[in-house]
Structure 1
């Protein structure tokens, strides 16, 4: 839907859309999204602290990266999850941190330069590929891929009156198309037996478990889902989500661990 319904403002459309998803929970969840974030300091193996949502640390660790792995962080900026992965690799293997946006890539490089030990930097490369077309660049290459896909980021929308006014239900629909293209590309780029962690900070199932459902429809037989049970999470049809109203402000963050089988 490209036009707003019968002249309704974005705020009203937004609330109606998520009310239908979360029902009586929505007012409480909405209020928690508007509260100030509570980032924590992450410094494990780094040269200085980096502050990020604890849910992001949990998410990056779910990929279960091992020293020596060849890893792709497909949509890496601003770089918090990249740092978590680098802290595990400790200069071994290879880590490609990718982001299509030149501005975000500049920020990503700065985060790496100011937080990663000099002796580890040779094993990290920053690139600017279009993640939705990754299968054209590399295939059967990576042991682990983190796809923290660009999404509706409802927490940001709610806190930005201009973004909220512009919001329409077409936003998650368009993003879900891009997200699936990225996930399909990741499935080509990961090795057989390798793992993909698909994640978003979206609330909408359309961008979360329904992207995984589409992968079952379009790529059936080529992958399996790996059960995970991290702290603070709530199960969805596929994968899990951390929501701020039930996790002392963490998230929102959805994730699903996928293993390529053929």
Structure 2
């Protein structure tokens, strides 16, 4: 437990994902070298890199390259779910659903993997977060996305067996984000975790029904309370 707590206190390594809708990885590497940025590849995402950059004058988020959508500042772990969805040979999807899309890191990654073809439904339940989702989609040059603002529990009933692939990055208690947000545990409780687990069960059931027969579903969450959550989802 001591080792775990110490690991949680260490700051995250900054990471980015090259947006291949607007540039290539090779071209970005040259640009990064010219700027003195040091890139180290992330094993599970060909477009992902841990980055070392001098941000004393211009933060990465304020650089021309970021504003032009050439890269997305995205945690390395966040790149895993879309990469997993496209890990198999049968990943030539025509219809994809991102059930909890904001702020857009995984949505824009999915769009890049789809090469802006097919249809990508980016749904976000919180109306206050749709604006930033839209801004990131526009910045990254995504053209195959349709934004929606629904409780994702409706998709199973409204659109049964309509999607080739679904990504459910489910809402959770968030204790897995403590390395970037020391306050993440302040509102944690057993009751809230149980409530969120019930919501997650509803969402994954909706995703299951919205998925075509033979389709692929990836479920992810940044919660650490996996035993309790997985028990509630054990029917799947």
Judge same fold: TM > 0.5, yes or no. yes
Question: In the alignment, what sits opposite 2:71?
Answer: 49
Question: In the alignment, what sits opposite 2:15?
Answer: 40
Question: In the alignment, what sits opposite 2:39?
Answer: none
Question: In the alignment, what sits opposite 1:131?
Answer: 152
Give the TM-score taking structure 1 as reference length.
0.65
SS of alignment partner, residue 140 of structure 1: coil
Question: In the alignment, what sits opposite 1:31?
Answer: 6
Q: Distance in 1 between matches of 2:208 and 2:155?
A: 9
1:81-115 superposed Cα distances (whole Å, 9 cap, x missing partner): 11111111112111011101111111111110101
Aligned: 1:188 with 2:209: yes
Aligned: 1:76 with 2:101: yes
Give 1 or 2: higher helix fraction: 1
Specify which of 115, 119, 127 is matched with residue 94 of structure 1.
119
Which blocks of at least 5 consecutive residues in structure 2 are unaligned? Answer: 23-69
Q: Distance in 2 between matches of 1:104 and 1:160?
A: 22
Quote the RMSD (CA, aligned, Å). Answer: 2.0
Deviation at 1:54, TM superposition (A): 1.2
Contact 1:73 1:96 in 2 (8 A): yes
Which blocks of at least 5 consecutive residues in structure 1 are unaligned? Answer: 1-25, 217-262
Aligned: 1:152 with 2:127: no
Give the TM-score taking structure 2 as reference length.
0.72
Question: In the alignment, what sits opposite 1:8?
Answer: none
Q: Distance in 1 between matches of 2:198 and 2:130?
A: 23
Question: In the alignment, what sits opposite 1:197?
Answer: 218
